[in-house]
Chain A
Amino acid sequence: MMAPLYEFGRFGDGTGLVIAVLLGIAFGWFLEQGGMGNARKLAGQFYFTDLSVLKLMFTAIVTAMLGLFWLSWAGLLDLSRVYVPETFIAPQLVGGLVFGVGFATGGLCPGTSCVAAATGRKDGLALIAGMFAGVFVFGEAFPAIGHFADSTARGAWTLPQAVGLSYGTVVGVMVAVALGAFAGAEWLERRAERPAHRMKIAA
């Protein structure tokens, strides 16, 4: 049986929507378990005191990346039928910067704000309201800025294509970068725990 199952007609849209709810439940469960519904914990990422965001995100990326790689290597999954977010260089760089400033200000991202709100955090609700406002502002501004938003399009462009290395090599490099990032994150957290450094932050 070849994956993706939906792409090969193994089930229809109705079943796909049920799967959406079930995958969402598991996604929300693990986000809350990892503390991602708590803005104070997330904000620790930006002051090098709690790097859970980096650890959780990078672990999730590497897990799914390795799964895709091995399933495709074993001939069980057709990678060409898996959606790759398209590249728009300039709008993604500018959008990323704006998003990042919003992330540090709001302390939650769009997905985690839903978990924060679900567990009673009023700041999660306020952030959701802000997201709706921001999307509406963008929608109303689209006739003016749509040209920029659609610029520097590169389609479904992947890192192996961009750097001219094999898929397996890039996957290996990503795993090495992740392990290095985890070691750095652990070191930063231990450093933040030291009394001398705590006083320096407070001063």
Chain B
Amino acid sequence: MSNKPAPYASPYLAGVGIGVVLLLAFVLMGRGLGASGAFSSVVAAAVNTTAPSHAAANAFYTGYLSDGATNPLKDWLVLEIIGVVIGGLASGLLAGRMRWTTERGSGITDRRRLVNAFVGGTAMGVGAKLARGCTSGLGLTGGATLSVGSWLFIIAAFMGAYAAAPLLRRAWR
């Protein structure tokens, strides 16, 4: 892991690559890419396993268990996300960018950064479920299919991020 990391690709080039992958998803499957839905399937399956009657009484969980697929590994988005992990790993390995580390600004400690990441993830989990998608399912898929709600979400998400950013300057400097 001591090798020099390769520089990142141009965001335009990587963007075209992701655009082609998204287009392939539309052409092959008639659906787009996503991410937060995979988290939902796993949570719904976990709740269903530990407290089946509790899950059955909640429309949010049953929505992710409806096709009788209590095995999240049969879920399209869960398999797609497993692919994302494999693809990210392969790219990171080949580019020499694997590091067991914590990415943070110099103004905070590792522990503070991990707390921030957990808190940010929790907020995104709630926000994505309220909006029915995240930067992938609404941002990319809904953006390309010109969904009104998706564009409202994208605009609101960037507004929220820019409103919070000045308070978090120390964490990223």
Contact = CB atoms under 8 A, between A and B. Distances in A.
Contact of B172 (A5, A43, A145): A43
B27 A85 contact: no
Nearest to B113: A123
A73 interface: no
Contacts of B18: 27, 30-31, 34, 56, 59-60, 63
A143 B32 CA distance: 29
Contact of B164 (A5, A27, A92, A101): A101
Given A101-B164, A110-B136, A23 B33 contact: yes
B153 A142 contact: no
A7 to B, nearest CB: 4
Interface residues of A, number: 127
Contact of B60 (A27, A28, A86, A138): A138
Contact of A95 (B61, B77, B129): B129
Contacts of A68: 23, 26, 144-145
Contact of B120 (A36, A44, A58, A106): A106
B169 to A, nearest CB: 7
Given A95-B127, A134-B123, A56 B14 contact: yes
B152 A30 contact: no
A98 B127 contact: yes
A83 B44 CA distance: 23
Interface in A61-88: 61-65, 67-68, 71, 77, 81-88
Contact of A115 (B11, B32, B84, B135): B84
A176 interface: no
Contacts of B14: 30-31, 33-36, 56, 59
Contacts of B42: 132
Contact of B97 (A32, A77, A126, A131): A32
Interface of A: 3-7, 16-17, 19-41, 43-47, 52-53, 55-65, 67-68, 71, 77, 81-89, 91-124, 126-139, 142-143, 145-146, 149, 154, 156-162, 167, 170-171, 174, 182
